[in-house]
Structure 1
Amino acid sequence: MNRKPKVAVLRQLRKEVGFGCPVKGCGSPYLEWHHFDPPWHVENHHNPEGMIALCVQHHAQADAGAFTIEQLRQMKQAKDEAEQVKGRFNWMRNELLMVIGGSFLLETYVAVSHKHGPVIWLSRDDDGYLLLNVAEATINGEPRFSMEENFWTVHGNQEDVECPPSGKAVSVKYPNGDAVSVKFLELKSEEALLKQYPEAPDALFEISTPITAVEVTYRLKSTGVDIGPKELTVYGNTIRGEFIKGAKIAVLL
């Protein structure tokens, strides 16, 4: 049996602990899964009743016997509704390639903006590192994901929050189909760039590598804004496949 459970099992495990490690005082969103009743070495199984989502540190402690079966069962029952989930990306670079809606942005600080201000943009800290920002949207009075200088927060009644322990990605889904995701990638060569984005405009492959890319999707379909992985649709108008360098604003809503 493959040790990795099915997606549905992982979603159930994340949701029952409120999308954060249930060990008291922790709350880390970077979750793994732990088999405890019975342990994996006793029986290979993916029964969610005998599994729990834990952060990397507390997973290792659980493997070493730090928590009893009764304690782990209590942790599973502690939360059935997700609370506010927070995290931080430690990916800080002097140069970033933003990949948004199928377009590729270099030396462009504001990826998407509207009349009230920027929606997805970059800022620099005192050390000159670029940091990602995503404005909080509100749908029918219900808040959504936001990000301020690499610190992200999940708002609202989220359906799922997936945040691998690698700390390079976060994906948030809502019951009405809205979704936001952020993923960092290290592209070490032109070949890696081509492999990752084979359908990109030729101008992209003239940039210097290695380079770090950050992919952002921002799908709020009920507002008419759908920034997907391959195209950007705003109020029925679709933009895709552009390479933009040095622009003040890439997309104005």
Structure 2
Amino acid sequence: MERKPKIEIRRKLRKEVGFGCPVPGCGRPFLEWHHFDPPWRELNHHNPEGMIALCTEHHAQADGGAFTIEQLKRLKHSVVEAAQVKGRFNWMRNELLMVVGGNYLLETYEAIRYKETPLIWLSRDDEGYLLLNVAQVTVDGEPRFSMEENFWTVHGNEEDVDCPPSGKMLSVKYTNGDSCSVKFLELASKEALQKHYADAPEALFDIETPVTAVEVTFRLKNAGLDIGPKKTVIGGNTFRGNFSVRCGAGVVIN
């Protein structure tokens, strides 16, 4: 049996702690799965009643015996879901390939602009590193995910927040079907670039590697906004396959 539980159990464990580590004063969203009743070393199991979601630091402490079974059970069943789940991506580069809604943008500051308002864009810090921003959007009076210079916040009535300890991926799903995701990855060679983005314009494969890419999806059903893996649909307009290099803006919708 693998130590990592199935996705249904991971979702249950994340949700019961409010998508953040339940140890008082922590709240970090980068969660792992601790087996405590019984411990994994005594019995390989995936019984959610005997498991709890903890951050990497507190998982290691729990494995070392820092918490009793009674304390862990209280943490499982006395946690009130946080109003906001927050975190930060530590991926900062001088050059960044954004892959947004089927469009490819190398060091292009605005990935998508809608009616003069940027939706997904980059900014630079004082050291010259590129940082990711995603505008906060409200649907039916309920705010959604947003990001400001790599610091992200989950707003609203989220159904699931998946943020592994690797710190390179975030996936958020809402009860009405809205969703968003951000994923950073390193592509070490032209071959890796071609393999990962086989449907991209040929010009993409002429860029220098290695390159860091960030993939962003953002779907708001009631707003007619669908920035998916393969295409961008906004206000009835569909965009895909655009390739921009060091431009002010990629996809502009008026």
State the TM bucket, normalised to the shorter chain: over 0.9
Query: Mapping of 1:1-20 within 5 angstroms?
Result: 1-20=1-20
- C-alpha separation between the residues in 2 aligned to 1:107 and 1:94? 9
Corresponding position: 1:88 with 2:81: no
> Residues of 1 paired with 2:66 and 2:79: CA distance?
21
- In the aligned structure 1, how far is the partner of 2:95 from the partner of 2:247? 15
Find the aligned partners of 1:191 and 1:13 in 2 and give their Cα distance: 38
- Per the TM alignment, residue 235 of structure 1 is displaced from its structure 2 partner at its CA by 2.2
> Which residues of structure 1 form unaligned runs of 5+?
none
Match of 1:203 in 2: 203
> Structure 1: how far apart are the matches of 2:164 and 2:155?
19
Are the equivalent residues in 1 in contact too, given 2:19–2:81 (CA < 8 A)?
no
- In the alignment, the residues of structure 2 paired with residue 235 and residue 249 of structure 1 have an alpha-carbon distance, to the nearest angstrom, of 18
Query: What SS class does the counterpart of residue 198 from structure 1 fall into?
Result: coil
Q: Which aligned pairs between 1:116-131 and structure 2 lie closer than 5 A?
A: 117-131=117-131
Equivalent pairs counted in the alignment come to 253
Cα distance in 2, alignment partners of residues 226 and 16 from structure 1: 29
TM-score by length of 2: 0.97
2:95 and 2:212 in contact (8 A); partners too: yes
SS in 2 for 1:159: strand
Q: CA separation in 2, counterparts of 1:186 and 1:51?
A: 33
Contact 1:28 1:87 in 2 (8 A): yes
Q: Deviations over 1:59-108 (max 9, x none)?
A: 00000100000000000012253431110111100000000011100131
Q: 2: CA distance between counterparts of 1:78 and 1:116?
A: 46
Indicate the residue corresponding to 1:66 in structure 2: 66
CA offset digits 1:82-135 (Å, max 9, x no partner): 431110111100000000011100131001112352110000000110000000
Q: Runs in 1 of length 4+ with deviation above 4 angstroms?
A: none
Residues 113-158 of structure 1: CA deviation (Å, up to 9, x unaligned): 1235211000000011000000000000001001000000111010
TM-score with structure 1 setting the length = 0.97
State the partner residue of 1:236: 236
CA distance in 1 between counterparts of 2:116 and 2:209 reads: 35
The answer on whether the counterparts of 1:15 and 1:80 sit within 8 Å (CA) in structure 2 is no
CA drift of 1:15 comes to 0.4
Residue 252 of structure 2 corresponds to which residue in structure 1? 252
CA shift at 1:196, angstroms? 1.1
Deviations 1:11-39 (A, max 9, x none): 00000000000011110000000000011
Q: How does 1:8-87 map to 2 (within 5 A)?
A: 8-79=8-79, 81-87=81-87
CA contact (8 A) 1:133 1:147 kept: yes
Counterparts of 1:4 and 1:107, CA distance in 2: 37
Larger mean CA deviation between 50-59 and 193-202 belongs to: 193-202
Determine the structure 2 residue equivalent to 1:97: 97
Q: Deviations over 1:194-221 (max 9, x none)?
A: 1211111100000000110000001112
Q: Aligned letter for 1:154?
A: V
Amino acid at match of 1:81: E
Once structures 1 and 2 are overlaid, which stretch shifts more, 189-198 or 108-117? 108-117
Gap runs ≥5 in structure 2: none
SS in 1 for 2:158: coil
